[in-house]
Amino acid sequence: MDGLIVVLAVLLLALVTLLKGVRLVPQGSKWVVQRLGKYHSTLGPGLNIIIPYIDNVAYKVTSKDIVLDIPSQEVITLDNVVIIANAVAYINIISPEKAVYGVEDYELAIRTLVQTSLRSIVGEMALDSALSSRDKIKAQLKQTISDDISDWGITLKTVEIQDINPSPTMQSAMEEQAAAERARRATVTRADGDKTAAILQAEGRLEASRRDAEAKVVLAEATKEALEKVSAAIQDKELPATYLLGERYVEAMKGLADSDNSKLVVLPADLPAAVRGLMGAGR
């Protein structure tokens, strides 16, 4: 009976030892093995054999790309404007042993490094340049970080700027400035329109006055020429003159009768006598 117990114990120990010596690493992972507390090797995906009780798996590291979200932070630009910026970094661990032994927490270290580099890069730009130069910021950020994290066996696949916006206070100030600029432009446009309209109206009045003056001159010359022709035609004859003056007299009375202000128009009973009286007054 005692011999059976010993055999079973030996078999159990052998089984446990075998299990400890065989390691199945899943795809997309790498395991760091220490031998007696010191780095020994890195196990790749698949079946791996280690020495039981001497070797142990100290770290399990993913070999897939890791997405690191960089928290938002306030950044002061070259022209002393506060903006809010955040980013996202894509990394891949090439040498797991360097990543776990080279830095205490490589994810925290990379986040801090991205934040610090982002503040430094944006701090050398003015607000307008920072808001419109994402590609430039991205390129400088990737170049700066890649050199630093390569010592940790990590490669930076890419880094993207997610948001880069003025702070809420600055956004309010910019909106007020934009509203004031729009109001100023509207006022200038309105003033230019009023000025143009006034100029056009003045030019219209000037042109109308000029045309009226020209018409009066033409009318006066026509009247003068008509009087000269009438005088030459009638000479000392009374009847033609009486006829012309009578015609003008009748037209004047007709115009007076058509006026809104006229209530009563009195015509002389002897129109020819009245005309001859005018002729006599003219003499």
pLDDT in tens, 259-271: 665 555 555 545 5
Residue with tokens 């003015």: 126
Average pLDDT over residues 18-24: 84
The pLDDT score that the predictor gives to residue 245 is: 60
Structure tokens at 99: 């990543």
What digits encode the pLDDT tens for the residues 23-75?
899 999 999 999 988 999 999 999 998 888 888 899 999 999 999 999 988 88
pLDDT at 66: 94
Q: Which of 232, 275, 234 is nearest to 253 (CA)?
A: 275
Which structural domains are found in the chain, ordered by start? 2-62 (no CATH), 66-172 (3.30.479.30), 209-259+268-282 (no CATH)
Q: What tens digit of pLDDT does each residue of 133-150 get?
A: 888 999 999 998 988 899
> Given this model, what pLDDT does residue 97 score?
92
pLDDT reading at 233 higher than 80:
no
Q: Show the tokens assigned to 26.
A: 């899943």
Neighbours of 277 (CB within 10 A): 12
Which of the two residues, 182 and 119, has the higher pLDDT score?
Answer: 119
| Count of beta carbons in the 10 Å neighbourhood of residue 194 | 10
End-to-end CA distance of the chain: 175
Q: Starting at the edge strand that comes first in sequence, how are the strands of the sheet with 38-43 ordered? A: 38-43, 29-35, 55-62
CA dihedral sign of residues 16, 22, 28, 34: positive
Average pLDDT over residues 200-215: 84
Is the confidence at residue 132, as pLDDT, over 90? no
Query: Which uninterrupted H or E stretch holds 216?
Result: helix 168-234
How many Å apart are CA 95 and CA 184, to the nearest integer?
62
Looking at residue 282, its pLDDT comes to 45
State whether residue 111 is helix, strand or coil.
Answer: helix
Model pLDDT for residues 271-282, shown as the tens digit of each residue: 556 555 555 544
* Strand 55-62, strand 29-35: pairing: antiparallel
Mind listing the pLDDT tens digit for each residue in 245-258? 666 666 766 666 66
- pLDDT score of 4 more than 60: yes
pLDDT of res. 281? 47
| 83, β-bridge pairs | 75, 166
